Amino acid sequence: MARKAISSPRRTLRRIREVMAGPGAAQQRLDRLVGIIAGEMVAEVCSVYVVRAGEVLELFATEGLNPTAVHQTRLRVGEGLVGDIAAHARPLNLPEAQSHPQFAYRPETGEEIFHSFLGVPVVRGGRVRGVLVVQNRTQRHYSDEEVEALEVIAMVLAELIAGGELIAREENIPAQGNVILPSRLEGVRINGGVAMGEAVQHSPRVSITQLLADDPEIELAKLADAVATMHSALDDMFASSDLARGGEHRDVLDAYRMFAEDRGWLRRIRESINGGLTVEAAVQKVEDDTRARLAEATDPYMRERLSDFEDLSNRLMGHLAGVQRTSDRTDLPADIILLARAMGPAELLEYERFGLRALVLEEGSPDSHVAIIARALDIPVIGQVQGLLSTIDARDPVIVDADNGIVYVRPGEDIRQSVAEHLTTRAARRARYAAMRDVKPVTRDGHHVSLCINAGLLIDLRGLDDMGVDGIGLFRTEIPFMVRAEFPDVEEQTRIYKEVLDRAGTRPVMFRTLDIGGDKRLPYGQAPIDSENPALGWRAIRVGLDRPMMLRHQLRAMVRAAAGHELHVMFPMVTEVAEFDAARAILDLELERELAAGRTLPTKVLVGCMLEVPSLVWQLPALTQRIDFLSVGSNDLFQFSFAVDRGDPRLADRYDSLAPAALAMLRSVVKQCDQAGVPVRVCGEMAARPLDAMALLGIGFRALSVAPSAVGRIKVMVLSLAAAPLAGYLETLLLSADHSLRPKLRAFASDHGVVLEDG
């Protein structure tokens, strides 16, 4: 007659829960637990090994082995049966352990008299934290029910092991296979700066307050309801008009839905529920097990399936318990280093009010929506950090050096001290910038430079009076659209633009019409057609001209908001004069409409465009006859000029904005605008970097628009520069074959006392 796996799984878990919640130190509770588990599993040995720093498994508690071996017996990850379980995150069930080739004998344990062996990984957060083992003298193969029961017990033990009482949290060094992951991660700079604080994972797994269930039938019913709701939501998405047509996206959705309906996944969840777990804990257990087992996969297809699985698990958990809003969280530290795979701008804004210090992304690009918002908030951002969420635990101490694209995880005291000193120096520098508010940016040889700021949120304008700038050289009107759940109507847009103008006072505001499309998608907009290079696709003024009512509503709101004041409007990504003429005609229609309705018009309407596409450079003679001002968007202009996908990290440093060709093109632009009497400014990222801005002044620009955080350092550079010697020096360099003029310009700055301060 086969022996029952465990006398009463629910009773066992209840006893374990009582010990976990009971008095005594963590080691004392662990010692009691191995005795309970051995008794309930009818095993002569129960042992717990814990992963310590350096990928070492240490025997922490045992019932049945020599007690003097506790804290003495150690195995490397991958060594012995226990090490093999930890390395591959899978159970090992052997009727005769000592004949297995991985068996590693440790004489101090006295385990030579035990033959059968069952070990399971103790997993939490997708990482192996230890190994739970039972052994018997007789040769026997443990049943599937016994394996499942021990896995459920291991999940409960994971809370004790990972809780920081048995070993210091600093010892929970992430591991992948047999390789110790570094405490230093690298990515791509998105917004510069340095910050230190504690890690917070965005969209963390739902907090499970109860691991053990009282009634499995209730939990199974909750699972059935949540699965049905999830499948219905997926079906609705699949049936939408834009996705119902054939194509590769249809194949992807078919595979995704098949994965969602995978019976094996749901069966494993039900088995865990029948073993005594709540439905939330069961979903978490299956996700942890699967992530740990597939984390080593090198096959891209398998890793994609892991991503699908994690997404589905998160969806199911969301349907079960709801996603906790950031505004409702009470567990956030005072200094937040926010970690995310990807996130939206509205979500980032929620964290800003809780002490957000930096943002680190597994994905992300300098032009993503969240990057734009982070720059507006002056938050350091690093993107494309591989393995971020699986490497850093919540509340880990983290330092973000976004200037160099480096994330320090659990840094040493020397690094912390160095960064603290840097932050102190930076704070003092900002205080010095603030004291320069009323100092006009004039070069040493008398050239006045107009400094404006780029903005897209009202939060950008909160220190406008303290910055001493001439106005808003670029207001990105798409950002208020992106942070709303639906398209704002004319009245709502009018209110937004009027508030911007009111805060600006007498200073001009250059409103850029919507730059959406491509990779800038509104959450409520039409699903775009997939494009291999969205930056070259249906975006900006192309969308506005194809959706004229949308553009008309926006221009109508601008005209109404500026009643009795000057209005500056500029159109983005104009590629030919005909596009500007078409957009200007729509603006004229709105002005005529408002006049016919008897409304008050702006006192003056000035119309310009963004120079972001190289083709427009060759049409400047015709364009300058039609525009009142020109703004150079260096980000896109250089992307298109050098054929560089700025989201590709392999090309991040391949081309330079200070290349001779780039500066020669910009010098041609400023000369043509000066000859036509058309004001021109640079409002791209280039203008916010002191050395690059110095070069712009050297080729003739006298107006720059930068992020609010860059105003101080650009003003310091201007005040220390004599522009005429620089202009003469650059004349000798623009026809050179150098990859970049950056080293020579930096040497010029050093020789001539030009102050270049980093952020």
Could you read off the pLDDT of 44-58 as tens digits, one per residue? 999 999 998 778 999
The residue out of 373, 403, 425 marking a domain boundary is 425
Q: Which of 651, 478, 488, 457 is nearest to 573 (CA)?
A: 478
Dihedral, 246, 248, 251, 257 alpha carbons, nearest 10? -100
The CATH number of residue 459's host domain is 3.20.20.60
The answer to whether the beta carbons of residues 694 and 720 sit under 8 Å apart is: no
pLDDT value for 230:
76
Q: Residue 165 — pLDDT band, cuts 50, 70, 90?
A: confident
Q: Are residues 336 and 222 in the same domain?
A: no
Tell me what pLDDT residue 149 has. Answer: 83
Residues 542 and 458 occupy one common structural domain = yes
Tokens 């964290």, residue located: 351
Residues 382 and 561: beta-carbon distance below 8 Å:
no
Residues 189 and 306 occupy one common structural domain: no
Residue 16 CA, chain-centre distance (Å), reads 38
Whether the predicted pLDDT of 185 surpasses 50: yes
CA distance 307 to 302: 9
Kindly state the tokens that stand for 651.
């090309």
Give the phi and the psi of residue 497 in degrees, each rounded to 5: -65, -35
Q: What is the DSSP string of 593-607?
A: HHHHTTPPPPSEEEE
Which residue has better confidence, 294 or 627? Answer: 627
Span of 46-50, 51-55, 349-353, 366-370 with lowest mean pLDDT: 366-370
* Contact status, residue 106 vs residue 98, Cβ threshold 8 Å: no
Alpha-carbon distance values, 115 to 82, 90, 692, 706, 712 (Å): 15, 20, 72, 72, 73
pLDDT tens digit string along 199-244? 988 765 555 667 777 788 888 888 888 888 877 766 665 554 343 4
d(CA 637, CA 623): 17
pLDDT tens-place string over residues 492-520:
899 989 999 999 999 999 999 988 765 55
More confident: 204 or 43: 43
DSSP-based three-state secondary structure for 257: helix
Distance CA 429, CA 710 (A): 12
Specify the pLDDT at position 288: 75
Q: Give the residue among 515, 586, 505 at the shortest CA–CA distance from 545.
A: 586
Contact in structure between 86 and 59 (CB atoms under 8 Å): no
The verdict on 230 and 334 lying in the same domain is no
Residue 208 resides in a domain: no
Contact 574, 584 (CB under 8 A): no
CB count within 10 Å of CB 106 equals 18
pLDDT at 376: 67
Q: Is residue 431 part of a domain?
A: no
| The total number of structural domains that make up the chain | 4
**Would the pLDDT of 415 be above 80?**
no
Rounded Cα gap, residues 686 and 631, in angstroms: 13
Domain presence at residue 756: no
Instruction: Give dist(CA 380, CA 378) in Å, integer.
Output: 7
- Residue 1: pLDDT above 50? no
Residues 462-475, mean pLDDT to the nearest whole number: 87
Would 284 be classed as within a structural domain?
Answer: yes
What's the whole-number mean pLDDT along residues 562-576? 94
Higher pLDDT, 386 or 736: 736
Specify if 172 maps to a domain: yes
Specify the pLDDT at position 372: 65
Q: pLDDT: is 564 or 343 the higher one?
A: 564
| CB neighbour class for 286 (10 Å; exposed up to 12, middle 13-18, buried from 19) | buried
The 3-class secondary structure across 678-736, one letter per residue, is CCEEECCHHHHCHHHHHHHHHCCCCEEEECHHHHHHHHHHHHCCCHHHHHHHHHCCCCC
pLDDT for res 714:
95
Secondary structure letter of residue 616 according to DSSP: G
In a domain, 4, yes or no: no
Instruction: Tell me which of 322, 350, 374 is where a domain ends.
Output: 322
Domain finish residue from 285, 303, 322? 322
Which span out of 226-240, 476-490, 636-650 was modeled with the highest average pLDDT? 636-650
Determine contact, residues 116/136, Cβ cutoff 8 Å.
yes
| Domain shared by 604 and 657, yes or no | yes
What is the secondary structure of 267-289 as a DSSP string?
HHHHHHHHTTB-HHHHHHHHHHH
Reply yes or no on whether the pLDDT at 71 is more than 80: yes
Cβ 123 vs Cβ 129: under 8 Å:
yes
Dist. CA 547–CA 120, nearest whole Å: 59
CATH number of the domain encompassing residue 66: 3.30.450.40
Do 373 and 299 lie in one domain? The reply is: no
Mean pLDDT value of segment 97-117:
91
β-strands 127-136, 45-52: how paired? antiparallel
Q: How far apart are CA 155 and CA 162, in angstroms?
A: 11
- pLDDT for 347 equals 61
The least confident of 322-326, 359-363, 387-391 is: 322-326
Contact 191, 381 (CB under 8 A): yes
- Looking at the structure, do residues 499 and 631 belong to the same domain, yes or no? yes
Please give the residue that has the higher pLDDT: either 328 or 135. Answer: 135
**120 Cβ neighbours under 8 A, 6+ residues apart:** 85, 91, 131, 132, 147, 150, 151, 154
Q: Among 114-128, 168-182, 640-654, 693-707, which stretch is predicted with the lowest mean pLDDT?
A: 168-182
pLDDT at 358 exceeding the cut of 70:
yes
Contact 280, 317 (CB under 8 A): yes
Cβ-contact 626, 577 below 8 angstroms: yes
Within-domain flag for 299:
yes
Q: Are residues 128 and 222 in the same domain?
A: no
Task: Report the first-to-last Cα separation within the chain, whole angstroms.
Answer: 75
444, pLDDT greater than 70:
yes
Beta-carbon contacts of 108 under 8 Å, excluding residues fewer than 6 positions away, are: 66, 68, 69, 72, 73
CA atoms of 14 and 709, how far apart (whole Å): 56
- Check whether residue 240 and residue 144 sit in a common domain: no
Q: Is residue 702 part of a domain?
A: yes
Assess contact for 519 and 368: CB atoms under 8 A.
yes
Secondary structure (DSSP) of 97-154 = GGGSTT----GGG-GGG--EEEEEEEEETTEEEEEEEEEESS--PPPHHHHHHHHHHH
pLDDT on residue 179: 34
Range of the domain at 81: 9-179
Higher pLDDT among residues 462 and 207, named by residue: 462
At 706 the pLDDT is 93
Element (H, E) at 650: none
* Same domain membership, residue 162 and residue 80: yes
Instruction: Give bridge partners of residue 56 from the DSSP assignment.
Output: 52, 76
Q: Which residues pair with 45 in a beta bridge?
A: 135
Question: Would you say 326 and 354 are in contact if contact means Cβ atoms under 8 Å apart?
Answer: yes
Q: Are residues 299 and 361 in the same domain?
A: no
Both tokens of 409, joined, read 């995880």
Highest mean pLDDT among 31-40, 371-380, 486-495: 31-40
Report the C-alpha gap between 539 and 517 in whole angstroms: 4
Contact 82, 119 (CB under 8 A): yes
Buried b (16+ CB within 10 A) or exposed e, 544-574: beebeebbbbbbbbbbbbbbebebbbbbbbb
Give the count of alpha carbons within 13 A of 502, CB side only: 8
Residue identified by tokens 């029948």 is 274
Residues 706 and 717 in one domain: yes
Contacts by residues 229-232 (CB-CB < 8 Å, ≥ 24 positions apart)? 229/319, 230/260, 230/312, 230/315, 230/316, 230/319, 231/257, 231/260, 231/261
Pairing of strands 680-682, 629-632: parallel
Q: CATH number for the domain including 263?
A: 1.10.274.10
User: pLDDT higher for 556 or 537?
Assistant: 556
- Predicted pLDDT at 304: 46
Averaged pLDDT score across all residues of the chain: 82
| 8-state DSSP, 506 | T
